[in-house]
Amino acid sequence: MEYREIGQSGIHASAITFGAWAIGGWMWGGADRKQALEAILAAYGLGVTAIDTAPVYGQGISEEIVGDALKQLPRNKVQVLTKFGLRWDLKEGSLHFSMDNEEGDMQDVYRYARKESVILECENCLKRLGTDYIDLFQLHWPDPTTPIEETMEAVLRLQEQGKIRAAGVSNYSVEQMKVAETVISLASNQLPYSMVRRDIEKDVLPYCIENKKAVIVYSPLQRGLLTGKIKPGHTFNPGDTRGGDRFYSAENIKRINTYLEELQPLAADKNASLAQLVIAWTLRQPGITLALVGARNAEQAIQNAKAADINLSDEELKMIDDKLHNLDLVF
């Protein structure tokens, strides 16, 4: 496993990071807590020391499971990345989306990052995680109702108090990062990125490279689509939002599977799965620091971690990109 510094924070984390969105169940059609815990522990056993979670993933469920794992792991050897700024327990801020709670009722989720809310969320995160500090505390989504400076002043206070080691943002533009930097030194920006979703290469990624900010990418497997396991006609479980995702149209699933079939010989040559090949490709892209990869059970976690063992030559990377140029998705 390779370990990379998150910006200039002094925090080194496993390049393959356990993405704990799916284990919260929300938007993934549910999850099994026992299997989720086993997945985290299995990943750690293969060198995956970093875990990325958030309060909104299952309304605290994901963080609680991560907290259970921390009870069995050496805290100083685990990097806990969590977030703030999405509230489902109040009616303030900018409405972002709706989610199902454990009872199956729909609740609105608001982007809300006022100073007092940031402080409260940090305390709640610490309780659910069962720890006294967070390695990287990230604003989950921009909150248009709150000045960026106010949000970052609260984060700076938490850093000064030792409750967080480093500050990060997620889904931030270059302009928003620049404003945040007037208050606090950001370590990272977490953004969506995959073989079929590369828009951050236009501006945010170059900015982060130039300013030595880590880029943490989520959904590198495009929520499972790049594993090759999702075929046309696939049926998703109730509550799984992938069925309505633009990448999951019947035509796009067909075209992506055709592309993946062209990569199959390379994967076979590496004795790797398509998912492992995609993860390895992601980590070789300029400026990409960490790749968040989710797992619902131990076997998935083990297979994800083994992607770190795959070496891709410059020629192989070029071949993959050449084939990507011929992939035309329909939106």
Catalytic-residue membership of 44: no
Q: Distance of CA 98 to CAs 86, 88, 104, 106, 158, Å?
A: 11, 9, 12, 6, 29
Non-local (6+) Cβ contacts of 293 within 8 A are: 16, 17, 18, 19, 220, 221, 279, 304, 307
Q: Among 44, 57, 193, 259, which one carries the catalytic annotation?
A: 57
Torsional class of 59: left (φ above 0), alpha (ψ -120 to 50), beta (otherwise): left
CA pair distance 220, 233, nearest whole angstrom:
22
- The length of the chain is 331
Assess contact for 277 and 267: CB atoms under 8 A. Answer: yes
Non-local (6+) Cβ contacts of 15 within 8 A are: 1, 2, 3, 4, 283, 289, 290, 291, 308
Active site residues: 57
